[in-house]
Structure 1
């Protein structure tokens, strides 16, 4: 297997403090910092696109949904919803009484989850624009993440991962490690990779909670981990306090075999967060057949189903606390589906 060469492409010193969060979509990279700002970079033009100044506190989490929207969370307790066409803040909502520590958008774009230092897990209905459900936790969670299919989600409290099932909103299993967990990523819907305050990457089965394999990835603690699949190849990317970014090839059919190193680069910096951006134009050039799989209709379906006029501060009072009628059990009709029905009736 050939190795991957890693070279610097675009460097810009924009923040006045260290970076705390990063997210990417097909065109932009956004970074959040302890300086309370979010900076935007246009990767096609290789320029800084501007800054977002809505938060008053360290920006703790960022996540894109498709090409149309960005969600941000910070220590001020706010979650902001941004339109990425005009970079307009559609709504700034008081999500948690303490800091927002992590957020995750459901693959459908209908729901988002967030956790904070007020010991709550909150579900946000992005179709109707309201807080839909509040679950009290025994401790503060610092990571939350949906699985690729959206059928399950996980929360991390110190060194413990709780696996939740979507349809019941209940814990189906718990994974515990010796060290604090700093980052995680889903390899598949059932395989979870964990990185923590040591040099080891551990792969677990979400259903059985058994450790499938582990390997030493760095010489210092791992700060962030990312995974993607490309042409049938599963790749894990790790960033460490030792300054190295490394890429690993994982054969999920032979999961007990240790991943092989594809490439590495010494950034000579103390890394804090990581994201992977793909040059789609280059991918299409290398694989022309891939261009045929992307259409305007597909892009429309990927857009986040948020309507600006439905976000009101009063909506937060409608939240249900630890009830059986969770929003996950309700069928949510999206504006996109309504639009399709209207078009069909007009024919």
Structure 2
């Protein structure tokens, strides 16, 4: 049986988007697939859905890549400031946040900016879409946590925080969410909007992922990944994953196997197998690759036709029927993602449509050799 398609994509300070083909088998391998000079400044965010990879940068642009065709699809030029966060909602929409305080809602069929919201007085530092598509959360440098009603396209609730939060995440079932302030994780219940527990680590937290509805993977300014229970706030397991601080974590499920991918300042991307039945045991290393780059962000693109399914803050038990139901919610409530009277969303929008093939590392070397002649 042919291996399912899977591409590990990572951004770095060197302005390059790196692509590695991951070949899951009895013995996993990760091999360099392409390198692309995506931006004129370091990459700061990356997001994936079943077709596209999008990257955000300090150069204030969002680049789009069609992974089915392996081509550069275009660029979105709406923001004025570093792109700080990107998140897809299924196959239909993308939300972006930036240092200009805006959250932009994009239609991924025509790549139109449907709505541009002045979300925070300071920078938008993180955003997260509820699995239903009806709500979104954002945090910024104005010390606020804001809830957005995406059905009506308006703010629903504002909570003042004592400090600036730099990460916000919904759980896969959408019943809780977490905020990260420096080295502290506050766990909230959706129904009460109150804190039910707090997790504190020794170092600043740089990345956080829900592995299940109640288990968090947390990494930060050290070499260790830790798994915590949201219910008890206790550390279930910790293990040394890298030789330097960990910049990002990604997770997904394949044929019942929970896979964790980590990227570090040491230049390594590592793929781990996590056995949830033995959560107290450290995950086993499946494979690793030395990118020789200063990594900043990470995601894994999974082919829709494969048997893999994404566990990127979406419900791990959702079926295709649930996905169809979510899509119908958006289609029935078209006003939830756009506002025809919102002219500001259109005026600054510019999409470049120049399409270039993503180069393999070998092609890149040949070009350098030819130019030297």
* TM-score > 0.5, shorter chain as reference: yes
Query: Given the superposition, is the C-alpha separation of residues 9 and 112 from structure 1 closer, same or farther in structure 2, using an over 3 Å criterion?
Result: same
More strand by share: 2
Aligned to 1:309, which of 330, 339, 355? 339
C-alpha deviation, 1:283, in angstroms: 4.1
Q: Counterpart of 2:294 in 1: which secondary structure? A: coil
Aligned to 2:43, which of 19, 22, 26? 19
- TM-score computed with the length of structure 1 as normaliser: 0.84
Please say if residues 133 and 326 of structure 2, whose CA atoms lie closer than 8 Å, have aligned partners that are also in contact. no
Output the CA distance in 1 between the equivalents of 2:162 and 2:207. Answer: 21
- TM-score computed with the length of structure 2 as normaliser: 0.79
Stretches of structure 1 that go unaligned for 5 or more consecutive residues are 285-292, 314-347
Residue in structure 2 matched with residue 231 of structure 1 by the alignment = 255
Output the CA distance in 2 between the equivalents of 1:89 and 1:148. Answer: 27
Output the CA distance in 1 between the equivalents of 2:329 and 2:38. Answer: 30
Please say if residues 65 and 303 of structure 1, whose CA atoms lie closer than 8 Å, have aligned partners that are also in contact. no
Query: In the alignment, does 2:296 pair up with 1:272?
Result: yes
Cα RMSD for the two superposed structures: 1.8
Stretches of structure 2 that go unaligned for 5 or more consecutive residues are 1-24, 309-318, 344-373
More helix by share: 1
Matches within 5 A, 1:148-227: 148-227=172-251
Residue in structure 2 matched with residue 300 of structure 1 by the alignment = 327
Please say if residues 247 and 263 of structure 2, whose CA atoms lie closer than 8 Å, have aligned partners that are also in contact. yes
Tell me the matched-pair count.
305
C-alpha deviation, 1:310, in angstroms: 7.1
Output the CA distance in 2 between the equivalents of 1:256 and 1:303. Answer: 40
Output the CA distance in 2 between the equivalents of 1:301 and 1:226. Answer: 28
Output the CA distance in 2 between the equivalents of 1:231 and 1:225. Answer: 20
Q: Counterpart of 1:276 in 2: which secondary structure? A: strand
C-alpha deviation, 1:277, in angstroms: 0.5
Displaced runs of 4 or more, over 4 A: 293-299, 302-305, 310-313
Matches within 5 A, 1:63-142: 63-142=87-166
> Which fold has the larger relative contact order, with Cα–Cα distance below 8 Å and residues 6 or more apart in sequence?
2
Output the CA distance in 2 between the equivalents of 1:302 and 1:253. Answer: 35
Output the CA distance in 2 between the equivalents of 1:37 and 1:298. Answer: 32
